[in-house]
Structure 1
Amino acid sequence: MKTIVVTGGASGIGLAITERFAKDGHDVIFLDYHQENGKLLEQKLQKLGLSTQFIHVNVSDKKEVEKAFSLIPNTLDVLVNNAGISHIGNLESTSEQDFDSVFQVNVKGVFLCAQASIPKLKANGGGSIINMCSVAATMGLADRFAYSMTKGAVLSMTLSIAKDYVQDQIRCNCISPGRVHTPFVDGFLAKNYPGQEKEMFEKLAATQPIGRMGRPDEIAGLVSYLASDEASFITGSNFPIDGGFLGLKA
């Protein structure tokens, strides 16, 4: 049994990760900005007898992160930096406010939570940091300028953390999903393509060579493996999980 912290753990991919670790018998502390979602999930999992705790936090706020991690025991084994937001737009259409907003959560949030976790991971004799990256970090995607910038930073931070803390037995890896079917996708389609949701969903799904979007539980499965002792020889690596998007695109 491990003590695991998941940021952005109350919805989407983060929800699947929280549920996977909890159902596998681990002590899971999940952080999220959306207080109502977090409390409902905590109640649901605790009713099932699962060891979970919700902490409301804005990961881009240093004081809030420090307060949250002060509540986390020094037996911390794994940090999953999953919290993130998206943005659609190219260089010209991205405002300074857009740029700053995405940076604050996707880059500063990873920085603050990883930094806060290091003393606890050291105190526990080592552990694992798993960062949620994206295929956008390593290939050009149309109209994803700010988002891609942040995921490139996550990849670089992953490599740097892995290098600096390998002697402390702290492993750091990242995962790069392709398109995954989450409520965000459904909301995006409803907002931008009203009445065409089914058609556009199929079009987006077809961009993966495997012919469909990923499922949140599939991402959670890879996170679970990288957090496990079976992955103790893996650090400083980026794992695409994208239905062949990177490797098989013509």
Structure 2
Amino acid sequence: MNDHQLLRYSRHILLEEFGIDGQARVSAGRVLVIGAGGLGSPVALYLAAAGVGHIVLVDDDEVDLTNLQRQVAHTHARVGLPKVESAAQAMRDINSDIAIETHALRADEALLSRLVAEADVVVDCCDNFATRQAVNRACVAHAKPLVAGAAIRFDGQLSVYDTRDAASPCYACLFPPDASFEETRCAVLGVFGPVVGTIGTLQASEALKLLAGIGPSLAGRLLMFDGRSTSFDTLRVARDPHCSVCAQRATFPSTPV
């Protein structure tokens, strides 16, 4: 680590739990971020600011005027650009020393299989149930830790799903792929801008902790945020031995989370 990097990341390095070794792991890390909207914006900006060495962004959408109320990586001047390109510009303005890879594509099974296999940590910031399930399947298949968040109206939630730990559930343990429910989108019900900022910032925090090797992570816990009352609740969650996604992979190397 050179003098410029030591100065730039000094406030992380000063943390006893983080230190030079933690920053070195962050700088050598590779994070895959699915979605560059409300959740993905703070995730991308904080990971860039922290010096994550290689960040991969996947999103097939373009910046729209209605996004700007909450998607803080984007600007009025970049309306109409692919979100991944807009976010990459914002990230480079913060930190020009990192590598940013963009894919203006929908995250399908083939793309996810390749990108998840290469990642150290995966952060799911997408806005639909089908993609969340596809991301989870790829993370289980490749034994990669997944930081998943969601937000709508004044409510948000997040957890870490890390099946490297035999006791940790996957996303499908909590939200089975065949569950019947009515999917809601912010275009219909709205979303309070700071809620996605809160959840996205916490996702970035969990991703950085996983990279740096400090913890514990949120694995085995579901954190729920109520923006109306500004309150958090935490639920303990267990692995489903009959899960259709991770039950067949009951034996992973045990990794502290």
Give the TM-score normalised by the residue count of structure 1: 0.52
The alignment status of 1:133 with 2:150, answered yes or no, reads: yes
CA contact (8 A) 1:81 1:131 kept: yes
Map of 1:58 onto structure 2: 106
Match of 1:220 among 192, 200, 222: 200
Q: What are the superposed Cα offsets for residues 205-225 of structure 1, whole Å, 9 maximum, x if unpaired?
A: 7xxxxxxx6254433331122
| Ranges in structure 2 where 5+ consecutive residues have no aligned partner | 1-25, 63-81, 175-184, 233-257
Q: Structure 1: how far apart are the matches of 2:60 and 2:117?
A: 23
SS in 2 for 1:166: coil
Q: Structure 1: how far apart are the matches of 2:139 and 2:220?
A: 17
Letter in 2 for 1:235: A
Give the Å deviation of 1:32. 0.5
Give the Å deviation of 1:31. 0.9
Q: Structure 1: how far apart are the matches of 2:217 and 2:203?
A: 15
Q: Structure 1: how far apart are the matches of 2:91 and 2:231?
A: 37
Match of 1:238 among 222, 226, 244: 222
Give the Å deviation of 1:168. 8.9
The structure in which a higher percent of residues are helix is 1
Q: What's the C-alpha RMSD, in Å, of the aligned pairs?
A: 4.2
Q: What are the superposed Cα offsets for residues 173-203 of structure 1, whole Å, 9 maximum, x if unpaired?
A: 99xxxxxxxxx97x779xx9xxxxxxxxxxx
Give the Å deviation of 1:68. 4.7
Q: Structure 2: how far apart are the matches of 1:129 and 1:171?
A: 8
Letter in 2 for 1:115: R
Q: Structure 1: how far apart are the matches of 2:125 and 2:216?
A: 21
CA contact (8 A) 2:150 2:199 kept: no
In the TM superposition, what are the counterparts of 1:62-77 in structure 2 within 5 Å? Answer: 64-70=108-114, 72=115, 74-77=117-120
Q: Structure 1: how far apart are the matches of 2:31 and 2:99?
A: 11
Give the Å deviation of 1:112. 0.8
CA contact (8 A) 2:56 2:102 kept: yes
In the TM superposition, what are the counterparts of 1:4-153 in structure 2 within 5 Å? Answer: 4-9=31-36, 11-26=37-52, 27-34=54-61, 36-46=82-92, 48-49=95-96, 50-59=98-107, 64-70=108-114, 72=115, 74-84=117-127, 106-120=128-142, 122=143, 127-134=144-151
> Could you tell which deviates more after superposition, 38-47 or 11-20?
38-47
Give the Å deviation of 1:110. 0.7
Letter in 2 for 1:17: V
| Ranges in structure 1 where 5+ consecutive residues have no aligned partner | 85-105, 142-147, 175-183, 193-203, 206-212
**Percent of residue pairs bearing the same amino acid type:** 12
Letter in 2 for 1:167: A
Q: Structure 2: how far apart are the matches of 1:40 and 1:170?
A: 34
Give the TM-score normalised by the residue count of structure 2: 0.50
Give the Å deviation of 1:37. 2.1
SS in 1 for 2:106: coil
Letter in 2 for 1:6: V
In the TM superposition, what are the counterparts of 1:171-190 in structure 2 within 5 Å? Answer: none
CA contact (8 A) 2:195 2:227 kept: no
SS in 2 for 1:40: helix
Are the structure 2 counterparts of residues 17 and 55 from structure 1 closer, same or farther at C-alpha, using a change threshold of 3 Å? same
Letter in 2 for 1:128: P
Are the structure 2 counterparts of residues 247 and 57 from structure 1 closer, same or farther at C-alpha, using a change threshold of 3 Å? same
